[in-house]
A and B are shown apart, each in its own frame.
Chain A
Amino acid sequence: MPFEPLLRQSDGLPAESLSMTDNQPATVVCWRCGKEVPCASSACPFCEASLRVGSPGANVTDTLQDANARTLNRMLIVFGVLLGISFVGGLVRHLMAAVAPHHCLEAWQALAATIVIEVADTALVLLAWAWCGARFPEPRRSLVRRVLVWMAALAGLVGVLALNVLYHRFICEWLHLSVERQYVFRDHALTTLSMLAICAQPPIVEELFFRYLMFGALRRVMGGNGVVWITAVMFATAHIGVPLSMPVLFVLGLLLGYARLGTGTIWLPIALHFLHNAAVVALNAMYGGLQ
């Protein structure tokens, strides 16, 4: 195009306030005194007006870029801490099991360890939500599309559960692992609390972090498919305590990520995650051998 505009219009900022060379802004016009200042400046050298994020005349392109990078940075740090909590929690469980009679934790011991880890996870994710200080709105999808996505996701969940059963059967046989029923139904007094700890808390907290905060932070800097795959890898990696189950958890993460992408909300991922965990607990109680 021979008549390319020399000034590019940024979101909501008048074109006149930006001076561009090629595609890089060289200077910005100070929102207070109207003088030209280098775009790298955090404050106007003439009137000392702030040119940081949120200041009335800040360079929108740069500040958005900075804010996106900062949000992503924070979420990656939180992911690292989450990984650390899972790591320490898993190690503590192993140490407890090592000193326990028959190398097997009592139901209340396993439940207590789970609850401590979940309380720490919940506190961390809520802190991350506050620290992030951003909202990640997705465009509203049409009703027809949402209904179709819900139906497809439920069908996908059945497929993931079937894969889960087959995969764990194969792994148990291949590694000659003994198949035991899960502890949650051995002691009826603990059943309700166990169900809450396994089926209710993880769907809410994990989906809030992986499919809302991390998903939103990544969505600002890359495409939808990339975000779904990366959050699925993160979701699988965060389950350090069950390393052999990570391939299935990765597939589940993909399903939950595409459910989030398809509906634009986290309600479907939460519902799917809840149903998945409930089904796994029920199958474990009946047959054992699932993680």
Chain B
Amino acid sequence: MSQDLFSELPPLTQPVPAGPRLGSLAQSARKKQLKTARIILIIVGILTVAGNGLMLGNVNNEVDRTIQKQVDALRAQGQQADGASVAEFRDRNIRYCRIIYGSALVFGVVFIALGIAVYTYPVPCTVLALVLYVGAAAIYGFLSPETLKNGMLVKIVIIIALAKSVQAAVAYRKA
């Protein structure tokens, strides 16, 4: 009898098959949050790259339009713009715009990279994404305060989602 019983037991040298993971529900919820963070980062990154890439390509026309408006306003007042000053102003503003749009484009590329790497390095990627997103919003808001108002609600939603993903990443890393 006892011999039969022992013969039914699996040999001790073989690994015991894993049972259902009780923590898998929480872990899948964290993974879902990370997936949300990944989607947000990639979408924000693509939009940033596309938008700023277009602006970067169109920077000369944009500056020329702005200058033309100011020159027209001066003409309407019966004044004449100094050609050398206008040329220097144009040159400087084109360079400023290139720095602003170029750095925003780099931010976009970094967001995409963070989105891709978020499963491999969950905590660093989510923390860096949150810091960069808030920091970029503050820097561009400082340079041009009217941009702060644009899409304020969307920005708040993205910040909350990224903050939640930081929490999920900390738990995901530990589990």
Task: Check if B132 sits within 8 Å of A24, measured CB to CB.
Answer: no
Asked if residues A233 and B123 are in contact (CB atoms below 8 Å), the reply is no
Complex alpha-carbon distance, A86 and B141, angstroms: 12
CA separation between A222 and B121, bound complex, in Å? 9
Interchain CB contact under 8 A, B166 and A72: yes
Residue from A21, A26, A218, A244 within 8 A of B127 (CB atoms)? A218
| From A69, A83, A222, A233, contact of B171 by CB (8 A) | A69
Complex-state Cα separation, A161 to B15, whole angstroms: 60
Residue of A whose beta carbon sits closest to that of B168: A69
User: 1/0 contact trace for B86-107 toward A, CB 8 Å?
Assistant: 0010011001100100000000
Asked if B92 contacts A176 (CB within 8 A), the reply is yes
- Of the candidate stretches A73-81, A123-131, A149-157, A257-265, the one touching chain B is A73-81
Tally of B interface residues using CB under 8 Å: 42
Q: Is the CB of B19 within 8 A of A230?
A: no
Docked Cα-Cα span, A221 to B167, in Å, equals 11
Judging by beta carbons under 8 Å apart, are B142 and A91 in contact? yes
* Contact yes or no, B174 A65, CB < 8 A: yes
Question: Are B134's CB and A80's CB within 8 A?
Answer: yes
Cβ of A23 under 8 Å from chain B: yes
On chain A, the residues within 8 Å of B27 by CB distance are 24
B170 touching A22, Cβ below 8 Å: no
A91 and B145 contact, CB distance less than 8 A: yes
Q: A175 near B: Cβ within 8 Å?
A: yes
Q: Which residues of B contact A51 (CB under 8 A)?
A: none
Residues in B with CB closer than 8 Å to A61 are 174
A50 within 8 A of B: no
Contacts of B39 in A (CB 8 A): none
The closest CB in chain A to the CB of B14 belongs to A2
Interface residues of A in 91-144 (CB under 8 A from B): 91
- For the complex, is A45 an interface residue (Cβ under 8 Å from B)? no
Contact with A along B1-39 (1 / 0, CB 8 A): 000000000001111001101111011000000000000
User: Within the assembled complex, what's the spacing in Å between the Cα atoms of A226 and B120?
Assistant: 13
Asked if B127 and A176 sit within 8 Å, CB to CB, the answer is: no
Asked if A226 meets B124 with Cβ closer than 8 Å, knowing A22-B23, A73-B167, the reply is: yes
State whether A26 and B22 are in contact (beta carbons under 8 Å apart), knowing that A83-B134, A87-B142, A176-B92 are contacts in the complex: yes
Partner of B21, one of A21, A68, A72, A243: A21
Q: Is B143 an interface residue (CB 8 A)?
A: yes
> Is A90 engaged at the interface, CB distance under 8 Å to the other chain?
yes
Nearest 10 A/B pairs, CB to CB: A24-B23, A237-B135, A226-B124, A69-B170, A26-B22, A65-B174, A222-B123, A22-B21, A21-B22, A221-B123
Supply 30 A–B pairs (Cβ within 8 Å), ascending by A: A2-B13, A21-B22, A22-B18, A22-B23, A24-B22, A25-B23, A69-B167, A69-B170, A73-B163, A76-B127, A76-B166, A79-B131, A80-B134, A174-B95, A176-B91, A218-B127, A222-B121, A226-B123, A230-B131, A233-B128, A233-B132, A233-B135, A234-B135, A237-B135, A237-B138, A240-B138, A240-B139, A240-B142, A243-B139, A243-B142
